[in-house]
Amino acid sequence: MQLLTWNCNQAFRRKQSYLDSYDPDILVIPECENPATKGDWSSFEDWVWIGNNPNQGLGVFTRNELTIDETTEVEGVEYCLFVETNRENLLAVWAKNDSDNPAQRYIGQLYTALKEYPEVVGSKSIVAGDLNWNVIWDEDPNSSLVGDFAETRAILNEHGLYSAYHDVNGEGFGEETAATFYMHKREDRPYHIDYVFMPEQLLDAGCEVTIGDYEDWIDASDHMPIVVNY
């Protein structure tokens, strides 16, 4: 199986060719336009999309005979979508700012979903997407959150879910050598803010994690894709 998550920076319909060197069974695409209104999606088996802006929402696409059986939007957070397929259970996330409730912005959105709706994840779930946060920001005294990255990760760990990138590469949180986001598309402003959390048994069985290179993807988006083969 191959899972790919990529904040495409809008207009995914025009950027599908960037995936030609991959063969993802599941794609999690933040900032995706509504596939019902634009684009040719015939290369995909199935898809689901949520959003308030037709040009910028959260899309989940499947292919290779993987179909979407059921979906549930997580109430109280804007872009958390539980997706049941014929093979996997997935929580897709695009953690955005929350101007009405700043304490619930970014990683606080996923924390809220996990605390108030614990049924959205289990020991066989995958959590993937743009969390818009790194543990290095947890200690900012001006950025109090309902739950920070360390607290959110602890909940996922309690369910037996661990970051594929960190597990495979043996790197600590906040010490990542590969960036998934470049602020203002500047190579000297790298951050690691996109993640795939997977069941421990899948990681123990062996998987490969790849993050797209700046030179290959920066023209399309300020985010790099995370690709997990398992």
Measuring CA to CA, how many Å separate 138 from each of 125, 143, 147? 25, 8, 9
114: left (phi over 0), alpha (psi -120 to 50) or beta: alpha
* Block residue for tokens 């490969």: 208
Contact 156, 122 (CB under 8 A): no
Model pLDDT for residues 29-66, shown as the tens digit of each residue = 999 999 999 999 999 999 999 999 999 999 999 999 99
Model pLDDT for residues 101-150, shown as the tens digit of each residue = 999 999 999 999 999 999 989 999 999 999 999 999 998 767 689 999 99
Domain borders along the chain are 2-229
User: What is the structure's pLDDT at 144?
Assistant: 84
Contact 162, 148 (CB under 8 A): no
Q: Which fold has domain 2-229?
A: Deoxyribonuclease I; Chain A (3.60.10)
Give the 3-state secondary structure of residue 18.
helix
pLDDT band for position 19 (50/70/90)?
Answer: very high
pLDDT band for position 99 (50/70/90)?
Answer: confident
User: What is the structure's pLDDT at 76?
Assistant: 81
Contact 79, 97 (CB under 8 A): no
